[in-house]
Amino acid sequence: MNAQAATTGMAAEARPEPARQGWHTLAILAALMGFASISTDLYLPAMPAMGRALGASAGSVEWTISGYLIGFSVGQLLWGPVSDRYGRRLPVAAGLVLFVIGSAGCALAGSVPTIIAWRILQALGACASVVLARAMVRDLYAGARAAQMMSTLMTVMAIAPLLGPLVGGQILAVSGWRAIFWVLVAVGAATLAALFTLPETLAAERRRVQPLWRALLGYGALLRDPAILGYIGAGGFFYGGMFAFISGSPFAYVTYYRVAPQAYGLLFGLSVVGIMAANLVNARLVVRLGADRLLRWGTLGAAVAGLLLAVTARTGWGGLWGLVLPLFAFASATGFIVANSIAARTVPARCRPWSAPRSMAPASAVPRWSVPSPTEHPGRWAGSSPPRASGVRSVAGRCRGARLIHRAERRTSMTQRTWFITGVSSGFGREMTEQLLKRGDRVVGTVRKREAVAGLATQYPATFRVELLDVTDVTATKAMVDRAFAAMGHIDVVISNAGYGLFGAAEELSDAQVERIIATNLMGSIQLIRAALPHLRRQGGGRIIQMSTYGGQVAFAGNSMYHATKWGIEGFVESVAQEVAPFGIGMTLVEPGGARTEFRYGSAQVATPIPEYDATPAHAFMTMLDPKNGLAPGDPARMAARIIESVDKQPAPLRMVLGSRALESTISTLKQRIADFETQRELAKSTDFPPGE
């Protein structure tokens, strides 16, 4: 059958094509992203002068940094959901107005408490620009272009802290500390004017209309999750140290060690260079060593640097450089802690309480340092702070428990993933689709008959897209995959699930049955994966899940052709996984055991029996198809939940065996296979050329 593409409900979400998506757009987005940096870094060299002018202590002036953090943290909770409901440009404009007012208030303030209050307002405004600039990138660009734009903006964010203190020191030398805040007023006003030369990037039909209070309630799910609390707590402690450095270093360098304010930026910039270098090293090592290991190294390095800093600060050993070098080491640990905590064990997308599929919140109150590693692809959004060094694996392990999974399934989904699944009319495909739609994700599902999912299409018209497909039609498969990626803009997970069982002795099978199961189970899966790979590679990564069976490791009589397709696809996937890992594409083979699905009790095909096989293992195996002989132990709902969960694991597990019986059978078979190989050592050796030849 030739596939006829049919869509149900969800219209293609083509990205807007603004007239000026060039350097003009990049410059405005870069300016928006830079507000977090310039708001603080520009006036760091002036903090001692502010204290003297206002008659305030160093500790009081440092509270202007803390006030900014308070405002920025609160703003992150609000701007994402607001923009998802009202569009991007209006909230950014409102934020810029608040930023301008707050900056002017700081310039006119006559006391430190007044500056602190204005700094909170300034931060609320600056936060909108930083949070929503990332969302606007996702609105405007797709695939490799989105990744390219985000990388460029991240570079701007990394360079800004280098220039901020240097520029601020020069302004201080020429005009005094109040002029720095007037410069911020001018920058905010200019950016506000430039903003309106850009079109609205989130069209009205793509916005979420859920009430703001519902989005905010989603944060409660995070606060009840012990794993996430561990991440947030550890990140808070680390950033507490970082902001002690930011707020205290002007007084330590300028007041105590008599460094000229104009030269302060050079010492501060040295630590920023360390962060950038650590990110580059992390990017090279993370694929080979793993994010968890580098994360532990980073937290250990920060702890050692902190202890050394305490000793040098107490004893005065080393003078100025006895302070600069430990601070450099401590700050550099950011490159290992932030990127790996986001990419390796990030908060699952369904748990993040900002709502629209393209909203992206910054990873922390200082997003300029949260440079993603290559394992964080642009379709996944940073959210959550770095995990604690000790107990990371144990906390994450508890997160995998059945109790937590059940709770996760009941969470309100605020940020969506997009999934492409073949064979969603029944079995695991149907079960996964229902769970994903229930939690708010988007699903493109393929079926042979549209009426098989008519109920789901009616229930989820905005998030469920149906495509008719016969996976044996290679041309139709490629065209449909291209169409799905174009319509959705970005697909996070591709699940190759179409297939069926064929039981009977090899001699009993017809030629048509053999050809059909190879075309469906093996070639259909291979061609689907091949069609998806170019899109996943261009968009910067993603996941492919291939539904197999523990029969891809174990063989039983009466299943010869079914095993042939599964052993074949497992070899294909294991090889391709190695090929595409450098592109951030993870691949997983799911090997479930017996489950109570239509595969076993309805959709499987049986060969025409030959009487001579009646007393053989080939026909003995057929008794499993009769429910009177006992139902399969596997629960499809629980298995589907574990498959969905696997997408949050880093790195992607190559194999997942589901079902206790399946696991025991697989382990027993592999042990026996290894034992057999051990007896063949001399045989294998005897076929080699003698040494030296």
pLDDT along the chain (693 residues), means of 10: 38 39 72 77 84 88 86 81 80 90 92 92 86 75 56 65 79 88 91 84 64 60 63 68 76 81 77 79 69 77 88 86 87 74 44 37 38 33 30 34 36 63 89 92 91 88 90 92 90 90 90 92 94 92 92 87 92 95 93 70 75 85 61 81 91 91 90 93 91 83
**CB-CB contact of 146 with 539 (8 Å):** yes
The predicted structure's pLDDT at residue 388: 31
Inter-residue contact 647 to 553 (CB < 8 Å): no
- State the catalytic residues: 548, 562, 566
d(CA 418, CA 423): 16
Given the candidates 1.20.1250.20, 3.30.470.10, 1.10.260.40, 3.90.650.10, the CATH classification of the domain at 23-394 is: 1.20.1250.20
pLDDT of residue 624: 63
* Residue ranges covered by each domain of the chain: 23-394, 416-658
CB atoms within 10 A of CB 319: 10
Rounded CA Rg of the chain: 29
In contact, 54 and 110? CB cutoff 8 Å: yes
| H or E element that contains 605 | strand 605-606
- What is the rounded CA–CA span in Å between residue 648 and residue 45? 42
26's CB contacts (< 8 A; 6+ apart) are: 149, 152, 153
The tally of CA atoms less than 13 A away on the side-chain side of residue 557 is 13
Query: Which tokens go with 441?
Result: 């994700």
Q: What is the pLDDT of residue 587?
A: 96
The pLDDT value recorded for residue 629 is: 56
| Residue burial 67-81, b: 16+ Cβ < 10 Å; e: rest | bbbbbbeebbbbbbb
Instruction: Identify the CATH homologous superfamily for domain 416-658.
Output: NAD(P)-binding Rossmann-like Domain (3.40.50.720)
Count Cβ atoms below 10 Å from residue 303 Cβ, excluding itself: 15
- The structure tokens listed for 314 are 């107490």
Q: Which of 336, 292, 332 is nearest to 309 (CA)?
A: 332
Residue type, 5: A
Q: Report helix, strand or coil for 657.
A: strand
Element (H or E) spanning 57, and its range? none
- What's the CA gap between 433 and 425, in Å, rounded? 9
